[in-house]
Amino acid sequence: MASLEDPRTAVVISAASSWGTYRRVWRKLRRDPVTLAAAALLGTIVVVTLMAPIITGLLQTDPDQILRTPTGRIATLEPPGPGYILGTDDLGRDAFARLLHAGRVSLAIGFMVALISVLIGAPAGLLAGYYGGRVDDVINAFVQFVFNVPSLFVLIILSVVLRPDVTVLALIFGFFFWPGTARQVRGVVLSVRALDYIAAAEALGASDLRVIARHVLPNVVNIVLVVAGFDVAGAILGESALSFLGFGVQVPMASWGNMLSGSQDFLRRAPWLVYPPGIMIFLTVLSVVQLADGLRDAFDPRV
C-alpha cells in the first residue's frame, strides 16, 4: 500500500480534492440567494436579447423602421402606450425594439472582450508564473507597457480613425484588459507552483505541459471566471462611456451606450428614451459583478 509520502499518492489526492472543491463550491452557491438571483437575472437578460429578432418579429416592428401614426404623421417622440411599449425616439423608431437589439450589441462586446482577455491573459499568466525567470520578465514587460498606455486617449483616437464596429471595439478593449487577467493568473500560479503535489508530479516525470494542464490549470479556473465577469462589466461600461462621448458603436447600429447618448437632449421632453438603456446597463453590470463576487467567495476556502 502506498504511503501518504508517496508522490503518486499526492497526485491522486490532488485529483480527488479537485472534485471535492467543485462540490463544495456548489453547496456554497446554493446557500447564496443573492448570487443565484444575479445569475438568474443575467441569464434572463441574455436570453431575452438573444431572442430580440423573434420578439420584434412577433410585435411586427423593427429597430430601424420609421413608424407612423394613424393620421400618417411620423411618430416622433411618442410616449409609451398602445402600439409603442417604450415609446418612440426622435426619428420615429420603436424604442423597445431598439433596446432589445442594442442589448445584443452591448452584451456581444462584453463577452467578446472577456473571451479575448482570457485567451491572451490566462496563458500569459500561466507561463509567467510557472517558468519564472526570463519568461516572466518578458511577459511582465508587455504587461507594464500596456498598463502605461493612456487607454482612454488611445480608445478615442482609434475610435475616430477606425470608425469601430462590434469586433473592432472588442479587440481594442481586449488589448487593454488582458494584462489584468495575466497578473491575476500569475499570482495564483506562483502560489500553486510551490505546493508539494506539483513537485510530486514533476518527480514522476510528468512534462511541463501535463503539469500545467492537469495540476496547475484547475487551480486557475476560479480566478479566471471571476476576472472574466469583471471584464464583461468593464467592457459594457467602457463601451457606454465611449458611446456617450460619441466614439463608440456608430449609428444606425444601436447599443445601450449610444441610445443613452442620443437621448440626453430629450431628458425633459422624452424621459422614456433615457431610463430604459440606463436601467439595462445598471442591471446587467450589477448582476455580472454580483455573480463574479459570489463565485469568488464560493471558490475561496477561507470564506
Q: Taking the chain (303 residues) in consecutive chunks of 10 residues, what is each chunk's mean pLDDT?
A: 44 46 77 90 94 89 84 84 84 89 91 93 91 90 88 77 80 90 90 78 75 79 85 88 77 83 82 89 92 81 59
pLDDT of residue 16: 41
Looking at the chain, the whole-number percentage of residues with pLDDT higher than 90 is 26
Our count of domains for the chain comes to: 1
Matching residue, cell 512534462:
207
Q: Does residue 17 lie in a domain region?
A: yes
Contacts of 290 by beta carbon, 8 Å cutoff, 6+ apart: 34, 35, 38
DSSP letter at 271?
Answer: G
pLDDT of residue 123: 92
Q: Does residue 252 lie in a domain region?
A: yes
Looking at the chain, the whole-number percentage of residues with pLDDT higher than 70 is 91
d(CA 283, CA 189): 33
Q: Domain containing 266: what range? A: 7-299
Q: Does residue 2 lie in a domain region?
A: no
Contacts of 215 by beta carbon, 8 Å cutoff, 6+ apart: 11, 14, 192, 197, 198, 201
pLDDT of residue 107: 92
pLDDT of residue 19: 52
Q: Which amino acid is at 62?
A: D
pLDDT of residue 301: 60
Could you tell me the CATH number of the domain that includes residue 128?
1.10.3720.10
Q: Does residue 124 lie in a domain region?
A: yes
- C-alpha closest to that of 215 among 204, 227, 201: 201
Q: Does residue 260 lie in a domain region?
A: yes
Q: Does residue 86 lie in a domain region?
A: yes
pLDDT digits (tens, 9 = 90+) for 200-249: 877 777 777 778 777 787 778 878 888 898 899 889 888 888 877 777 77
Q: Does residue 58 lie in a domain region?
A: yes
